[in-house]
Amino acid sequence: MGQTVFIPRELDANEPRVAASPDTVKRLAALGFDVVVETGAGTASRIPDEEFAKAGAVIGKAGDAAKADVVLKVRRPTDAELNGYKSGAAVIAIMDPYGNDAAVAALAKAGVTAFSMEFMPRITRAQPMDVLSSQANLAGYQAVVDAAAEYDRALPMMMTAAGTVPAAKAFIMGVGVAGLQAIATARRLGAVVTATDVRPAVKEQVQSLGAKFLAVEDEEFKAAETAGGYAKEMSKEYQAKQAALTAEHIAKQDIVITTALIPGRPAPKLVSAAMVASMKPGSVIVDLAVERGGNVEGAVPGKVVTTANGVKIVGHLNVPGRVAASASLLYARNLFAFLETLVDKTTKTLAIKRDDELVKATMLTDAGKVVHPAFAKAAAEPPKGQHLEPAAIPAKTMVADAAPKKAAAKKTATGKSAAKPKGIA
């Protein structure tokens, strides 16, 4: 009998995703694993038990985790789940360890070798394992769908005999994976799209999708990117100029989608209450960072808030989970791609190489200890060769808060006292 992989049903009521698909079950079996899927694990992702069984899995119960050598999950296991795992089992999931020291300690105490998939290094070899990208891509898509559902008008321009319906104006703040997909989706739906980011490299990407790029493109902007492609914190002077430009722009928008989420930090504030108050009744803001404090002042996790001036602020939780059937298929492939690297192809058994760069980047606990240098207090410095994500920019303002004073904004962006920044949309 081979080693066992167990896929449980997620206990969080807000988590409809599952960590396997019929396709990955077949692939796991081909690697030499016996696969056990807890009954009902895929129901919310439109994968009935019968589909897993046809792919070669045994449909089991939660208690089967006690025999598993590998546990594949979406979210970090609870203490109750950990009590049912055998010591030494490899547990692979989105661990969300920042600010959850007690939960990380519990993983170590349980004796499991825990891997945090969101720490996967962004290198060519690891692209098929990049859960942040696969899930953010769907979040960007769903953000536009949610905005369209709340917006009580058509998005594309429609020319009819009775008159013309103007196209909706959509503004995407933050042009990472989620932002790029939001731009593409909004464009497909017919909206007029603009986008902003403090990294100059994304301007060409924005324009390639048919959107206009909005930024104060001075000398500081041209240097506003780290070697790893991450945003640098901008000076207060730049923040003020960008804030004025952004505030004026937001007042004219029908839909605003914010995507700035920094691992391990509260989300940076991008949209102030004054900016929200400047928008037209019926406008919609979707905050994709609401789980980390939100980019938008007034956003409430899990709620759609309507402000006094009739603006809807959408704060849905677990946005990728709102398209669980698609999200689960991608996430399952991410997990399989990583687990495959941990298997000895000759013996068809789990053989974790602790000096592998993927293992070093993602291993959170091992042999009863917290081993990731970002969380192990004993590790004053990361081991030589250890991959660490670049330090995130401080949780201040990427696009600084500013009251939408149109006159002041206009003067800052285009007035005679300052040269007009290049490339402003």
- Please choose, from the candidates 327, 378, 385, the residue with its C-alpha nearest in 3D space to the C-alpha of residue 358: 385
pLDDT of residue 312: 98
Is residue 170 located within the same domain as residue 65?
no
Is residue 364 located within the same domain as residue 409?
no
- Please choose, from the candidates 245, 311, 324, 244, the residue with its C-alpha nearest in 3D space to the C-alpha of residue 278: 311
pLDDT of residue 237: 82
pLDDT of residue 391: 37
3-state helix, strand, coil in the chain (%, to 5): 35, 15, 45
Q: What residues does 163 pair with on adjacent strands? A: 160
pLDDT of residue 199: 81
Each residue's pLDDT tens digit, 236-292: 887 788 888 999 999 999 999 999 987 778 888 899 999 999 999 999 999 999 999
Q: What is the amino acid identity at position 104?
A: V
Residue 148 has pLDDT above 60, yes or no: yes
pLDDT of residue 1: 53
416 compared with 199, residue with greater pLDDT: 199
Is residue 222 located within the same domain as residue 240?
yes
Is residue 274 located within the same domain as residue 155?
yes
Each residue's pLDDT tens digit, 59-97: 999 999 999 999 999 999 999 999 999 999 999 999 999
Round to whole Å and give the CA distance between 351 and 6.
Answer: 17
Q: Cite the active site residues.
A: 122, 127, 130, 133, 230
Each residue's pLDDT tens digit, 4-20: 999 999 999 999 999 99
Domain count along the chain: 2
Antiparallel, parallel or unpaired: β 255-258 and 169-173: parallel
Determine, yes or no, domain membership for 233: yes
421 compared with 135, residue with greater pLDDT: 135
The position carrying tokens 């700035």 is 260
Tell me which of 338, 355, 370 is where a domain ends.
370
Residue 424 has pLDDT above 50, yes or no: no
Round to whole Å and give the CA distance between 84 and 66.
Answer: 5
Q: What is the mean pLDDT of the chain?
A: 87
Antiparallel, parallel or unpaired: β 369-370 and 363-366: antiparallel
Round to whole Å and give the CA distance between 196 and 234.
Answer: 14
Round to whole Å and give the CA distance between 246 and 275.
Answer: 9
- Going from the C-alpha of 77 to that of each of 95, 106, 291, 325, 365, the distances in angstroms are 8, 10, 19, 21, 13
Determine, yes or no, domain membership for 381: no
Determine, yes or no, domain membership for 169: yes
Q: For 391-405, what is the mean pLDDT?
A: 38
Range of the domain at 290: 139-321+393-414
pLDDT of residue 402: 38
Determine, yes or no, domain membership for 88: yes
Determine, yes or no, domain membership for 376: no
Determine, yes or no, domain membership for 343: yes
Is residue 279 located within the same domain as residue 353?
no
Is residue 109 located within the same domain as residue 22?
yes
Each residue's pLDDT tens digit, 288-343: 999 999 999 999 999 999 999 999 999 999 999 999 999 999 999 999 999 999 99
Q: What residues does 349 pair with on adjacent strands? A: 344
Indicate the DSSP class of residue 217: B
Give the pTM.
0.85
pLDDT confidence tier of residue 224, bands split at 50, 70 and 90: low
Is residue 233 located within the same domain as residue 259?
yes
Is residue 297 located within the same domain as residue 356?
no
Round to whole Å and give the CA distance between 129 and 337.
Answer: 6
Round to whole Å and give the CA distance between 72 and 424.
Answer: 46
Is residue 230 located within the same domain as residue 151?
yes
Each residue's pLDDT tens digit, 167-203: 999 999 999 999 999 999 999 999 999 999 888 889 9
Is residue 228 located within the same domain as residue 263?
yes
Determine, yes or no, domain membership for 385: no
Determine, yes or no, domain membership for 423: no
Is residue 37 located within the same domain as residue 165?
no
CATH code assigned at 345: 3.40.50.720
Give me 278's structure tokens.
């400047």
pLDDT of residue 236: 80
Is residue 103 located within the same domain as residue 191?
no
